Each structure stands twice: as C-alpha cells, then as structure tokens.
Amino acid sequence: MECSQKYLYVATVLLAVLLSSANSYTITVDAHEEQCFFENVEADTKLGLSFEIAEGGFLDIDVTITGPDGAEIYRGERESSGMYTFSAPVSGRYTYCFSNKMSTMTPKVVMFYLEVGEAQHKKEGEKEGEVDHNKLEDMIKELATTLTTVKHEQEYMQVRDRIHRSINESTNSRVVMWSIFEASVLLVMTVGQVYYLKRFFEVQRVV
C-alpha cells in the first residue's frame, strides 16, 4: 500500500510540475522593435528561458535578461536558439527582452518558454524522512523539466516542419509558373519566326 501511495505521489507531483512549470508563447517582433516580459519571484527561485526563432530573416534576435536592480543577468546577440537557467539572487521583477532593432524591415517569429520553479526555503533540523522526501521531489522536478524540454523541442520541430513545407510549396509553385512562362515565350518566338520566314519568302517571290 505504501509503495502504491508513493507512485501516486510521484505521478501527482510530476503532473503538477508539467502543467505549471512553464509558460509558452509565440510572438512576432517587428523590425526596430523590442518586446519584454516580466516575472515577479522570490529569492532563490529557479528561473529558465528557452527560445527558438521560427521565422524571419537570418533567424536571429538579441536576448537580454535583467534583474530587479537593472543589472544584466544574461545577454545574447543575434542568436537563433538558446536555453538559460539561473537562480534568482534577490526577490523582485525579472525582465526578459527580445530585440529586433538590428533588422531594417524583417519581422521575427519567436517561440519561447518561461519556466518558474519554487523558492528553495532552507530549513534546519529536518528529519531523515523529510530529507529523502525532498530529494525525491527534486528528482521528480528534474525529470519534469527534462520532459518539458523534450516537449518544447517537438513543438519547435513541428513549427519548423510547417514553415519548410510552406517554403517548398511556394518554391514549387514558382518553378511551375516559371516553366509555363518559358514555354509561352518559346511558343511565341517559334510562331513569330515561322511568320517572319513565311513573309520573307512571300516577298522574295513577288520580287
């Protein structure tokens, strides 16, 4: 009975972490634009950001993460994808910004995930059973984070597959239209040459 209760607990915690640990977004950042998002958390909270550029230009964008005091925690320039995890040093508002200011006219489609863990409260005098319980919970959360990452990668690959399929279909359509245009030009030139030669010989006969 105790074993089944443990499995039930593991499944419950794992499901709760999977449902609440990450917020996924898809945004379009226009040229010369910057979009920012905020998270208010307590100190020692584990924060994570993973992102992929799904469409636009060279698939690159500038990324910055700043703390409540305005200090830069992370900066990436012209990145197409990335993953960064850190523990909040102080309580307050943390800002995630995606900047497309380097682009002159091309918007960028960004898929990103904000992961917010729980604050790690330090406790003294924990019993051995409580320590094992916390270790088990930490392992479950780590497993849930891994599963979430895999889920994110699958979603990104699906988006990339749709984009590539759309590009291929557009390219095929252009090839077909260009082939029809070339065939039309050749047909017109052939008819024109036949007509010209016919007129030329008719003029020669009259003379």
Measure the CA–CA gap between 128 and 122, rounded to whole angstroms: 15
Distant-in-sequence, close-in-space partners of 50: CB < 8 Å, separation ≥ 6: 82, 83, 84, 112, 113, 115, 149, 152
Domain locations along the chain: 2-152
Average pLDDT, stretch 123-142?
63
Most confident of 79-83, 113-117, 141-145: 79-83
Q: Give per-residue pLDDT as tens, 147-186.
A: 777 777 777 777 777 777 877 888 888 899 999 999 999 9
For the entire predicted model, the pTM comes to 0.61
* CB contact at 8 A, 77 and 36: no
- In this predicted structure, the answer to whether residue 63 has a pLDDT above a threshold of 50 is yes
pLDDT at residue 170, as a whole number: 80
Tokens 């749709």 correspond to what residue? 162
Distant-in-sequence, close-in-space partners of 176: CB < 8 Å, separation ≥ 6: none
Q: Output the CATH code of domain 2-152.
A: 2.60.120.680
Query: Measuring CA to CA, which residue among 113, 73, 121, 120 is closest to residue 93?
Result: 73
- Residue 180 tokens read as 């029809």
Measure the CA–CA gap between 24 and 97, rounded to whole angstroms: 15
Evaluated on CA atoms 78, 80, 84, 88, the torsion sign reads positive
What value does the mean pLDDT of the chain take?
Answer: 79
Measure the CA–CA gap between 28 and 14, rounded to whole angstroms: 32
137 DSSP 8-state letter: H
Please name the amino acid found at residue 101. K
Burial class for 36, CB neighbours closer than 10 Å (0-12, 13-18, 19+): exposed
